[in-house]
């Protein structure tokens, strides 16, 4: 009996790596999980079906198995506001969830308020994850040291000396760069400098080669929007989004918030 090779994030594999796996293991022994839109390693989705057009069985999973129903609704609305196709059905069996939008800096008071609710529900600091840009001059650049100064323990995944290790204490908060967030999750996830992250991805998107059917601006916006949807789908229950600067992304975020005022809390 042949062993099955399970491949995660299959949409993000380069085609030469795809072809190598097929050559080594055979197409009938591959089981792939394809996230479709969540691209990190490249800008174009890897088409596994093209390599085996007659040797496949597709099982489509559209319901969110992680996000509570309110978060799923909010993410779908945000995707719509950003003009990005997003096929994710609300799972009615996972009710609840809340979104907190902070306009302004992430303060110690805001952190302690979020942490109080986080702990009340039986969670630990390890279940609270931060996504940051890591860029010099950003408000979250020194987040790890600020959390430490507030009296908390931190595993800082943005640090070169710590990123090769892993959290060793349940009392540690996790801090990771946005680019490392895919595949991770937390009961509470705080996306800091979220608007700056979107602008950064826009700049990267403007360097991507276009075709005859899309303008450079359309390609850049699509790239940034797809990236933005990765961190907002990391939370199970509570999603904190912190922004500070006016712009089209902030407008889209606030428009989504207004449509879900029943579970979105505005701070600042």
Predicted pLDDT at 196: 94
* pLDDT, tens digit (0-9, with 9 covering 90-100), for 43-76: 566 676 666 656 666 656 666 667 999 999 999 9
Q: Which residues pair with 173 in a beta bridge?
A: 154
Whether the per-residue pLDDT at 1 is higher than 50: the answer is no
Whether the per-residue pLDDT at 36 is higher than 60: the answer is no
d(CA 186, CA 188) in angstroms, rounded, equals 5
H helical segments located in the chain: 15-25, 69-81, 108-120, 143-149, 194-205, 216-228, 248-259
Q: Work out whether strand 128-132 and strand 264-267 pair parallel, antiparallel, or are unpaired.
A: unpaired
As a whole number, mean pLDDT of residues 258-262 equals 97
- What secondary structure letter does DSSP report for 2? P
Q: What number does CATH give the domain 69-267?
A: 3.40.50.300
Q: Of the ranges 8-17, 66-75, 175-184, 214-223, which one carries the lowest mean pLDDT score?
A: 8-17
Burial state string for 114-142 with b = 16 or more CB within 10 A and e = fewer than 16:
bbeebeeeebebbbbbbbbbbeeebbbbe
Whether the per-residue pLDDT at 193 is higher than 90: the answer is yes
* pLDDT, tens digit (0-9, with 9 covering 90-100), for 117-164: 999 999 999 999 999 997 767 778 899 999 999 999 999 999 887 777
Label residue 79 left, alpha or beta by phi (over 0 means left) and psi (-120 to 50 means alpha).
alpha
User: Domain coordinates of the chain in residue numbers?
Assistant: 5-51, 69-267
Three-class DSSP category at 130: strand
By percentage, how much of the chain surpasses pLDDT 70? 83
């Amino acid at each position: 009996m042949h062993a099955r090779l399970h491949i995660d994030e299959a949409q993000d594999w380069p085609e030469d790596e795809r072809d190598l796996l097929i050559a080594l293991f055979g197409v009938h022994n591959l089981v792939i999980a394809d996230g479709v839109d969540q691209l990190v390693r490249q800008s174009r989705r890897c088409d596994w079906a093209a390599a085996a057009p007659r040797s496949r069985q597709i099982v489509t999973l559209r319901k969110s198995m992680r996000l509570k129903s309110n978060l799923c609704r909010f993410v779908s609305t945000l995707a719509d506001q950003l003009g990005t196709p997003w096929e994710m059905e609300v799972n009615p069996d996972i009710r609840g969830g809340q979104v907190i939008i902070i306009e302004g800096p992430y303060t110690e008071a805001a952190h302690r308020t979020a942490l109080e609710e986080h702990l009340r529900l039986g969670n630990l600091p390890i279940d609270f994850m931060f996504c940051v840009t890591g860029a010099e001059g950003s408000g979250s650049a020194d987040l790890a040291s600020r959390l430490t100064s507030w009296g908390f323990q931190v595993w800082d995944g943005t640090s070169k000396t710590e990123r090769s290790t892993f959290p060793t204490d349940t009392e540690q908060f996790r801090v990771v760069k946005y680019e490392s967030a895919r595949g991770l999750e937390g009961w509470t996830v705080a996306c800091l400098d979220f608007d700056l992250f979107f602008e950064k991805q826009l700049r990267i998107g403007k360097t991507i080669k276009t075709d005859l059917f899309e303008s450079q601006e359309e390609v850049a916006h699509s790239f940034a929007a797809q990236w933005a949807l990765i961190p907002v789908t990391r939370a199970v229950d509570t999603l904190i989004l912190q922004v500070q600067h006016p712009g089209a992304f902030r407008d889209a975020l606030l428009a989504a918030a207004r449509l879900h005022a029943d579970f979105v809390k505005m701070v600042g």
